[in-house]
Structures are given as C-alpha cells and as structure tokens.
A = this chain, B = another copy of it.
Amino acid sequence: MKRKTTKKTPDRYVIGLDLGGTNVMAVLVTTSGKVIDNLHFPTEAPKGPDYVIENMAQNTIKLVEKNGLKMKNIWRIGIGSPGPLDSKKGIIMGAVNLPGWKFVRLKEMMEKQLGTAVGVDNDANCAAYGEAWLGAARGKANVVGITLGTGVGGGIIIDHKLVRGANYNAAEIGHTSLNPDGRVCKCGAKGCFEQYASASAIAESARERIRKGTRSMMTEMVKGDLGKLTSKVVAEAMEQGDKAAKETWDEFIKYLAAGVANQINGLNPDVVVIAGGVINAGDLLFVPLKEAVRKQTFALTFAAAKIVPAKLGELAGALGAAGVVINEGDFYGM
C-alpha cells in the first residue's frame, strides 16, 4: 500500500493595494497571510487615472524590490477601489473621489504595466474581507464589516466568501434606511444609516445642538471653531460629563445599534466588525452598543454575533484585496 504524502502548498507572494481618494496603501503579503511589508503614497487623484495607475505600478515595483524580490516573484495583485465597479472585469465605472475615472479598465491597465494577474474589488468589501482573513474576525464564516467614517461603508462575507451581489454593488450598509421619513441622504434616499451613525454624523449632530444654543464644553474644546468638532471631541466631552455630548453620543449609539441589529437579524453573522477612528472610544462605544443591539435582536442571533473593533487599521483594505485574489481567484478568472 502506498503512503499518502501531504505536500504543503508553498507560500507565494501577493501584493494588495487600497486605492483611496487621498492615499494608496500597498502591502506585500504571502498566501498564508504573513504580512511582510507595506508602504503608502499620495494618490494625487487630480492628475487623473493614467497617472494614478502608473504611480501605483511604480510603487508596487518599489515595494517588491525593497524586499529583495522581483515582479516575477509576485503571484497575484489585488486592488480595493472605490466604486461602483465591475469586479469581474476590473473596470471602475466611476468614483466620487477620483476625478476622471469613468469606465477605467484598472485590471487591464495594471496587468499591462506589471505582467501579473490583477483582481479588483470594492474597497469596503476588501476591508471587511481583510478583517475576516487576518483580523478581528479571522477564520469566521459569516462576517459583517461596518466602517464608520465620513460615510458608513460595509462588507459582507457569507460561508467564507465575499458577497458581491448581482452587479457587484452589495453591502451598501451605510445606505440601508433606519427611517423612511428620516434625513435626506446625498444618495437621494431617506433615513440612511450613514446620516445618523457615521463619524461625520456624530460631529454634525453635536454642532446642531450647539448652534441651537445648547451650552456645551465642546464649544471651548474647539475654541469656538465648530468646524474642528469631531467624534473624538464628542467622546471626550461626554467622559467629562457634558450633557450635549452625552445626548449626541446616545443618539449615535441608538442608530448604530439599529443598523448593526438589522445586519444581525438579517444575516445571523458570527462577527460584526466595527472599524473607523470612532472605535478608539473603546468601552464608551462597545458597552452601550452591545446592550442596545441586544434589545433589537433575538437571543439566539445576538448570542452568535460577536461585536468587535477592527484590528487591521488602515491596512485592512489592502490586506483584504490580497486575500480575495488569493482565496477567490476563480472569480477573477485567475
């Protein structure tokens, strides 16, 4: 009888890129998830897509060579990009923060520049995938990622696979409605999650209270310049007992909890990962959030769903972009 030999697949090198409106993050990682190195550089978006893509290619080479490797050692490249985009074809249809990007063949252009297989996917989806692959939800099958920033980004992983949807626009969690009579969002819908529970929404809600004449230590904290009022200022003022800050924060928690609960009741995930600078508030955020989510969910679904802060910080998107091309290469025709 012949003995079976289990041959371990050798680790290969992969590049992940996270294309943002301001900066691009690049990581060098192995197929088993070892993070070797990273670098970031300004997008210089106003220079248009040709320049940005050329610049991404040059910096990819720089990151590779800096680590004693050559491009021929790179197995695949994943790019997280704002959208909407066609992730099958790697075409960016448009992007609010990338002027001139209309039907840009990002995959094709990068492949031509570098001679390596490229896969492109939505940046928020990649960030969630990164946390599921190597971060706060490592190894979990069903994961919802929610990033609280200027808006609210989302990504969904089910049975270990990224949910892309019928035309690659899934997981617009920030634009699920928490009130069909609510605030009008820039997307045109009413009551969008991100109108109540983004980092910008917290700051704006505090500003509104102050503008209406509510006295608050926040006014002094920003030396009267309400433009400088951030979610961090709100959290700090609340810790010092400021009433307006507390009201603002409570309202934020209520809506965030409703949005998170909707994902838990809808998808019964193992983990909900919350990302964005606001998570630095720690227990001030997570303790009341969990309690409010508990009230809006079933006991069993609540018990299943850990609600945790993201772990990968600004690397999540680039790592996730690498992760999806490693684990879901079939989808990209690799």
CB of A204 closer than 8 Å to a CB of B:
no
A303: B residues at CB distance < 8 A: 167
A176: B residues at CB distance < 8 A: 261-262, 265-266
Those of A114-165 within 8 Å (CB) of chain B: 141-142, 154, 156, 158-159, 161, 163-165
Residue from the set A176, A295, A297 with the largest chain B CB neighbour count within 10 Å: A176
**A257 to B191 alpha-carbon distance, docked (Å):** 13
Closest to A141 in B: B166
**A176 to B269 alpha-carbon distance, docked (Å):** 14
Interface size class of A (residues with CB under 8 A): 35 or more
Those of A157-181 within 8 Å (CB) of chain B: 158-159, 161, 163-173, 175-181
Q: How far is the CB of A299 from chain B (nearest CB, A)?
A: 9
CB of A189 closer than 8 Å to a CB of B:
yes
A163: B residues at CB distance < 8 A: 158, 267
Those of A170-219 within 8 Å (CB) of chain B: 170-173, 175-181, 187-191
CB of A89 closer than 8 Å to a CB of B:
no
Binding site for B on A (CB under 8 A): 84, 93, 141-142, 154, 156, 158-159, 161, 163-173, 175-181, 187-191, 254-255, 257-258, 261-263, 265-270, 295-298, 300-301, 303-305
A-B contact pairs, 11 of them (CB 8 A): A142-B165, A164-B268, A166-B270, A167-B300, A169-B304, A175-B298, A180-B255, A180-B296, A190-B295, A191-B258, A262-B262
